[in-house]
Amino acid sequence: MNNIIFMKYLSIFFVSLLLLSCGENKTDKKNTNLDKEFGVDFSNKGIGPIKELKFDEIDEELVQKGAAAYRSKCTACHAIDKKLIGPALKGIYKRRSPEWVVNLLLNPTEMLKKDPIAMALLKEYNNIMMLNQNLSEDEALAIAEFMRTL
């Protein structure tokens, strides 16, 4: 093989390497975007009546009340640790602020239209809208307390 042909092959080899690594960068970017959409953002408190919610020690009585409401109003669409019609709810406070969660329960229709995390979830869950269950604030807070125990 003379030198010129050798150089030609060598440059083809390097150009392919370069293209390959560009391809990899593209997929990296895509994944980062996805992470951003579902980004853990505790400063996002959602849209609704709950402006501040600080959790204290777990209130067992409230958990029991919340568990009963959860069983009758949420289990059609949610399971604790697997995807159903909606996301699994275990560890919800590791990815969402408590205010965001309770506002979603009280005001899902508006949140799904305007809140960036809720909008991304809606897209991911095939545009199935979480229903407004007309929960009272007390009921929503009881369910929120129950979800701390999952």
Query: Rule CB under 6 A: is residue 93 a binding residue for ligand HEC?
Result: no
> And the tokens for 19?
């293209």
CB burial of 100-112 (b: ≥16 within 10 Å; e: otherwise) equals: bbbbbbbbbebbb
Shortest distance, position 31 Cβ to ligand HEC, whole Å: 18
Number of other CB atoms surrounding residue 75 within 10 Å: 11
Shortest distance, position 27 Cβ to ligand HEC, whole Å: 24
Query: Rule CB under 6 A: is residue 62 a binding residue for ligand HEC?
Result: no
Nearer to ligand HEC, 21 or 72 (CB): 72
List the one residue out of 77, 54, 62, 43 whose CA is nearest residue 140.
62
Nearer to ligand HEC, 5 or 81 (CB): 81
Query: Rule CB under 6 A: is residue 74 a binding residue for ligand HEC?
Result: yes
Of residues 103-122, those binding ligand HEC (CB under 6 A)? 104-105, 112, 121-122
Number of other CB atoms surrounding residue 135 within 10 Å: 16
**What is the distance between the alpha carbons of residues 119 and 100, in angstroms, rounded to a whole number?**
13
Residues that bind ligand HEC (CB under 6 A): 70, 73-74, 76-78, 85-87, 89, 92, 96, 101, 104-105, 112, 121-122, 125, 128-131, 133, 143
